[in-house]
Amino acid sequence: MSRLVPAPDALIGLRFDVAVSKMLGISRAKAADLIESNQARVLDRPIAKSGILMAGETVEFDMTEEREEPEPICHDMAIVYEDDDVVVVDKPVGVAAHASAGWTGPTVLGSLLDRGVHITSYGAPGRQGIVSRLDVGTSGLMLVCKSDLAYREMRRQFAEHEVVKTYHALVQGNLKEDKATIEAPIGRAKVSDFRFCVTPSGKPAVTHWDVMERFGEATLVSVNLETGRTHQIRVHFSSIGHPLVGDPMYGANPVTAQELGLERQWLHAMKLEFKHPRTHVWTTVESQYPADLAHALEIMRARHPQALATAD
């Protein structure tokens, strides 16, 4: 029995064995077995388990049997802030914000509900309480609303760009300036429904960045978003010739990612600052680098011991 599945947006740019494991909800080793036995393949081109799943491709599976499996739960997703109105999680890589077509991995919403966390019923079915999302391949802080009041107010704050979202990103090359703003509209790329690009017909997007460390071959930056377009940081830095390290979908060098042990883009949502929806107290929540990004940064620093950190 053969099944065709368009490559989900969340899995574009991942190794094929990683993508297959996410699509089928199986281990990476089992996914590799399916690929090597040609039971999982990409239409119209040969691909090894270490190959990269590209935008617009279709994956074909030969399945001897299909079982409806329950959504897997992420048990190691830390809750870094919680009260009666909101919960802020430190989302690991490989976890989606909510369920979507073609995604069989864990979700923030499903994992919170599994723990017994009450979530407001406000929001689209399957996306209750969610007012801002992170990509599957991006780790870090994400806020979910528990109360109806919080949903209404936090949706307004995000829509009106009142929430301060700070990311750290490692980008290829040496940025010329110590700080700058990228203001360029973002829309879907004509070549693919899964990839985005800077285009005059896109929606307005504004990204501010400040250099934290310079390595010559790469630059560590702190990024603040005024808008929240899909793939905004990835698209904007790619558009100025500095794609995120580990992001081949937007032009990054895969050799650098391999040398740093990265299997995803070096991007982490570090800090969320918002006015509490009930008390109106300015609230700040912070995160730390996950193990894979910290390890990659250690290797980069070891390669460039004379790297310069920019003073605050």
Strand pairing category for 40-42 and 58-62: antiparallel
**Residue 16 tokens, joined:** 């094929």
**312 among known catalytic residues:** no
A 10 A CB-CB count for 158 gives 16
Helix (H/G/I), strand (E/B), else coil: 275: strand
Q: Which residues contact 222 (CB under 8 A, 6 or more apart)?
A: 166, 167, 168, 209, 210, 212, 270
Rounded to the nearest 10°, the torsion over CA 109, 188, 13, 127 is 10
Instruction: Considering the candidates 135, 178, 193, 292, report the single residue annotated as catalytic.
Output: 135
Q: Which long-range contacts (CB under 8 A, 24 or more apart) does 285-293 make?
A: 285/80, 285/81, 285/88, 285/141, 286/80, 286/141, 287/80, 287/90, 287/140, 287/141, 289/168, 290/92, 290/93, 290/139, 292/93, 292/261, 292/262, 292/263, 292/264, 293/139, 293/170, 293/262, 293/266, 293/268
Closest CA to 266 of 212, 193, 310: 212
Catalytic positions, written as ranges:
135
